[in-house]
Amino acid sequence: MIRISLLLLCFLALSPTTATLMAAQDVESTVPGQQPGTTDHKEKTEMARVLISQGKLDEAELLLRQTLKLTPDPVEIYYELGRIHVKRGDSVGAIAAFKEGIKIHEQGRRRSP
C-alpha cells in the first residue's frame, strides 16, 4: 500500500490534471483486499490533501465530494473542504463546511456511550 501511495505522489507531482484524476481511478482498482472500483475513503482524503498542497483546488474538491458518498464519518472531509474555501478566500463557504463537520461530529458524540 505504501508503494502505491508513493507512486501516486510521484505521479501527481509530474502529471497534468486529467492524468491526476485517472490515477485516482486507477488506484481504486489496485488496492489489495478491496472490491474493484472502491478505494478507502482515507486514501482518497489523503490524495485530496496532496492536490490541495499543489494548489489543485478544483480537483481536490471534486475528489472530496465524491468521497463524501463513501465515508461513514465525513468530519475530516468537511474540514478539508473548509480549507479549500479558505484558500479561495470564500469565508462563507469555509464557515459552512466547518459548521457541517462540527455538527456531524457532535451528532456522533451524542450517539456514543
Dump the DSSP string for 37-75: T---HHHHHHHHHHHHHTT-HHHHHHHHHHHHTT-S-TH
64 contacts 25 by C-beta, under 8 angstroms: no
Task: Assign 24 a pLDDT band (cuts: 50, 70, 90).
Answer: very low
* pLDDT(16) > 70: no
What is the pLDDT, as a whole number, of residue 56? 97
Q: Which CATH superfamily is domain 2-111 in?
A: Tetratricopeptide repeat domain (1.25.40.10)
* Look-up of cell digits 472500483: 37
Q: Pick the range with the lowest mean pLDDT from 35-39, 52-56, 66-70.
A: 35-39
What is the pLDDT, as a whole number, of residue 111? 59
What is the pLDDT, as a whole number, of residue 102? 94
Please list, residue by residue across 61-76, b when 16 or more beta carbons sit within 10 angstroms of its beta carbon and e when fewer do.
Answer: bebbeebeeebeebbb
Looking at residue 41, its amino acid is: H
Separation between Cα atoms, residue 65 and residue 74, nearest integer Å: 10
Q: What percent of the chain has pLDDT over 70?
A: 61
Q: Which three cell numbers stand for residue 47?
A: 490524495
Q: Give the residue-averaged pLDDT of 49-75.
A: 93
Separation between Cα atoms, residue 60 and residue 23, nearest integer Å: 13
Phi, psi (degrees; rounded to nearest 5) at 78: -65, -35
Task: Assign 110 a pLDDT band (cuts: 50, 70, 90).
Answer: low
